[in-house]
Amino acid sequence: MYKIMTPGPTQVKENVRLARARECTNPDLDETFVEFYRETCRQISRLLHTENETLILAGEGILGLEAACASLTEPQDRVLVLDNGIYGKGFADFVSMYGGRPELYTVDDRRPIDPEELEKFLEKNHDYKYATLVHCDTPSGMLNDIHVLCPLLKKYGLLTVVDSVSAMFGERVDVTEAQVDILCGGSQKAVSAPPGLTFVTVSQEAKNAMHERKTPIASFYASLKIFDGYYEKKWFPYTMPISDIYGLRAAFDNIEQDREMISRHAAIGTACRQALEEAGLQLHLKQGFSNTVTVFDVPKGTTAQEILTAMRKEHNIMLAGSFDNLAGQVIRIGHMGTNADFTDMTETMEALEQTLKKLGITLAVSLKERFRELFLLLTEK
């Protein structure tokens, strides 16, 4: 087995794996599972600092993004798509799929969205039903400040849909402060459960918009409205993947007990980026670095595939390349969730150092030693 230091899926702790092996009941009929599901949903809301209802959906994180768009979009609705990355732009496909008219606000994909520039745009252009925004755009590691951008969008009357699949629990998320109407997360990123589940928090304003639609939602499985009254009825709209949800609950129990999760991600992210730069490697972004994934440009003289293959075959560590316009251009180190571990990151940096040197890349400092020094400096108390 490889040590997976990728930006999701991440490593999964043993207690999460064991929770998935619990004896199953019938989730359609056993009311104790309905209680367990609701308790888990409430736990997620609590950890995200919101009274908004959370729903766990049976599908990978992309389902949450599609469900948000499917549930809000009616034919000819104008939707503002904030685009400074591959996933940011990708929201336009979901809007179009359900008959909406996506309008892209496209800016530099190596910098976070500037709230002052966005406000200048919104002063003249704000006739949209809702806006979509990616918190961490995983292919590039771009981090947008949802706690500033979403209140700005709300100021101009827009509902907000946020993809925080790759950011939440590695970066601070306060749904109430950020005024997010639909926040989307996934099991396989910093939550560090196996892939297969998405969860969404839904505001009352977003629910009102769904109920005030003039046309029916053009999907069953991607509709958030089908969960209306599930608890009162003790009836799910489809059979819940009970073992997956048992595992998810164990993962959230781990998060709830981890008081230093955000600060540890910050220390590991900062130390990783600075060590790479001091070694002479080029970070892909100019600004807006997420503490869940570090992305650097492939150095001249080698290829992404050579680096990734050597890391797997010679060091048994899996890193990630990227895709779309970044295919073959960058390497991604995932240090989110369980991966945000000092020992694992030290081993990864040592392996990367050896790999690059073997491929003929000269480094100005030792990646391993500099990472260790920086991390210990940042965490000393």
CA 241 to chain centre: 21
3-class DSSP state for residue 270? helix
Q: Across residues 137-141, what is the average pLDDT? A: 97
Strand partners, 202: 53, 182
pLDDT digit string (tens) for 124-135?
A: 999 999 999 999
Does any domain span residue 247?
yes
Task: State how far the Cα of 276 lies from the Cα of 11, in Å rounded to an integer.
Answer: 23
What pLDDT was estimated at residue 158? 98
pLDDT > 90 fraction of the chain, expressed in percent and rounded:
99
What pLDDT was estimated at residue 139? 97
The total number of structural domains in the chain stands at 2
pLDDT digit string (tens) for 46-63?
A: 999 999 999 999 999 999
Residue 381 has pLDDT above 80, yes or no: no
Q: Across residues 40-46, what is the average pLDDT? A: 98
The CATH number of the domain holding residue 274 is 3.90.1150.10
Q: Across residues 225-230, what is the average pLDDT? A: 98
Q: Across residues 171-178, what is the average pLDDT? A: 98
Task: State how far the Cα of 269 lies from the Cα of 143, in Å rounded to an integer.
Answer: 12
What pLDDT was estimated at residue 380? 87
Both tokens assigned to 89: 């732009």
What pLDDT was estimated at residue 322? 96
pLDDT band at 1; cut points 50, 70, 90: confident
Q: Across residues 298-313, what is the average pLDDT? A: 98
Among 257, 288, 304, the domain boundary falls at 257
Q: Across residues 151-174, what is the average pLDDT? A: 98
Q: In which domain, by residue range, is 52 found?
A: 13-257
Are 153 and 297 within one domain? no
pLDDT > 70 fraction of the chain, expressed in percent and rounded:
100
Q: Please, are residues 52 and 175 in contact by the beta-carbon 8 Å criterion?
A: yes
Both tokens assigned to 274: 């600075």
pLDDT band at 70; cut points 50, 70, 90: very high
What pLDDT was estimated at residue 126? 97
Among 201, 223, 257, the domain boundary falls at 257
Are 309 and 246 within one domain? no
Q: Across residues 148-156, what is the average pLDDT? A: 98
Does any domain span residue 6?
no
Residue 30 has pLDDT above 70, yes or no: yes
Are 38 and 155 within one domain? yes
What pLDDT was estimated at residue 232? 97
Task: State how far the Cα of 7 lies from the Cα of 290, in Å rounded to an integer.
Answer: 11
Both tokens assigned to 285: 């972004």
Element (H, E) at 121: helix 115-124
Are 54 and 126 within one domain? yes
Both tokens assigned to 366: 């030792």
The CATH number of the domain holding residue 79 is 3.40.640.10
pLDDT digit string (tens) for 307-363?
A: 999 999 999 999 999 999 999 999 999 999 999 999 999 999 999 999 999 999 999
Both tokens assigned to 196: 């297969």
Does any domain span residue 294?
yes
Residue 338 is classified by DSSP as: G
Average pLDDT across the chain, whole number: 97
Residue 238 has pLDDT above 80, yes or no: yes
pLDDT digit string (tens) for 340-356?
A: 999 999 999 999 999 99
pLDDT band at 255; cut points 50, 70, 90: very high
